[in-house]
Amino acid sequence: MSGQITAVRLVCGVDEAGRGPLAGPVYAAAVILDPARPIDGLDDSKKLSEKKRERLALEIREKALAFGIAFATVEEIDQINILQATLLAMRRAVEALPVQPAEALIDGNRCPPLAMPARAVIGGDALEPAISAASILAKTARDAEMRRIHADYPHYALDRHKGYDTAVHRAALEIHGPAHFHRKSFAPVRALLNKP
């Protein structure tokens, strides 16, 4: 098996999930697909139903040559800003791969500092299957974490909006105030914290 892997030039796709929400970590995943085991239906995770994402995530974990999933914490987001925290999560995801790829394809227009050449691909989650796979793994891992937080803090309805800035989330914030998993550097949360 290892002989087969080294004979192929390994390229990983990298994507994030959770840049925009008011709560929770930002996640990233890196995936090296196996050309011998194609996965049908890969797409930008935002274009897929939750059910299809979860099914594809299982298939990716089973069929990919390698994958890594990582995150940056709410504290890191507040300390270094969401862009830098996203790049940090991406770097951690690539470093979590059990094998080092020859190149990393990064969704978006910025690349994290990596030990191998990296190329930014705008709209890559819809163009590059490996980035689509990373998008799906990052999104499903983050959703699972938000459901886990929801179990302890059901009054924020995180299972419904996953921490995004929705009317339901805003209403819960007004009633209960921000919790430790809210991003204090994000304007709507900061405004509530600064209320007299």
CA distance 90 to 72: 9
For 41-69, how does the pLDDT look when each residue is reduced to its tens digit (9 = 90+)?
999 888 999 999 999 999 999 999 999 99
Residue with tokens 């994402």: 53
**pLDDT mean over 156-174:** 96
Res. 177: pLDDT tops 60: yes
For 120-147, how does the pLDDT look when each residue is reduced to its tens digit (9 = 90+)?
999 999 999 999 999 999 999 999 999 9
Residue 100: the pLDDT is 94
For 107-125, how does the pLDDT look when each residue is reduced to its tens digit (9 = 90+)?
999 999 999 999 999 999 9
What domains are there in the chain, each with its CATH number?
Answer: 2-193 (3.30.420.10)
Res. 6: pLDDT tops 70: no
Residue 107: the pLDDT is 97
Res. 191: pLDDT tops 90: yes
Closest CA to 107 of 186, 43, 21, 25: 43
pLDDT above 70: percentage of residues in the chain: 96
Residue 57: the pLDDT is 98
CA distance 106 to 103: 10
Q: Is 15 annotated as a binding residue?
A: yes
Cβ neighbours for 181, distance < 8 A, ≥ 6 positions apart: 23, 24, 74, 149, 153, 163
Cβ neighbours for 118, distance < 8 A, ≥ 6 positions apart: 14, 103, 104, 105, 106, 111, 112
Average pLDDT across the chain, whole number: 94
- Name the pTM for this structure: 0.93
Residue 158: the pLDDT is 97
